[in-house]
Amino acid sequence: MSDITARRWETFALFYDTEAPRAVPCYRHLHAEIVRRVGAACQDPFRVADLGAGGGRLLAAILKQYPAAQAVWVDSSPVMRVVAGRRLARFNGRVTWVEAAMEATAWETAVPDGYNAVVSSIALHHLTGEQRQRLFARIHRALKPGGIVAIADEVLGGDWSAQKRYLEEWDQHTRSLARAGRVSPAYLKLWKLFRDRVFPDPEHNPTERWESAARQVEWLREAGFADAQVWWEHDMWAVFGGRKE
């Protein structure tokens, strides 16, 4: 990634953190589903790692809902580390910070005795299929017996014609918000850059490596999560995961 591309990504990430609850379809539902799944699988107190944690919104929801939980924030962005630090400051002493890519091993060794849960929200689709398969195996190793992996993400929602339709609907949603003054002009400008880069050929775009939720569930089963399944899916959004026996 060039310096210019990296700076542009950090700028987009800042605006994304602010605008995502409104601009991303299903955003609140995706987080609510993960919070519910983690709570159903884990007894408080528990330890959870969030891979690609960004500004910390998902961890804030988990830590608020489960007051004895401990969290490990994992992200490679120093800018998001600052944003998340402010958002999670009220949970003083309950968050461990790992500023590293999710593909790195730093988060696995950040705690001595493993995790009860590993979660991720709208992040893993940036990895290749092979990277995700390796990551799923590592998640399985890092979890304690009975631990859960819960993933919310953009997925391939059918065939590529359907994906293009879902993207166009997302674009219409974003433009409608902009006309109503509910997202900033700066975010809309960055959204247009994303749209122009990705929409012409969604299957071969350079950054969004969408796979179906069903295929990723197969990868989870191959990694050892025998009961892996899609828990919820709508258009190009899904929540899926499984438990380690």
Secondary-structure class of domain 3-11+23-158+207-243 per CATH: alpha beta
DSSP-assigned letters across all residues of 115-148: EEEEEEES-GGGS-HHHHHHHHHHHHHHEEEEEE
pTM above 0.85, yes or no: yes
Q: Which amino acid, residue 72? A: V
Strands 47-51 and 115-121: parallel
> How confident is the chain (245 residues) per 10-residue block, as mean pLDDT?
52 82 96 98 96 97 97 95 96 96 95 96 97 98 98 97 97 97 92 93 94 98 97 98 97
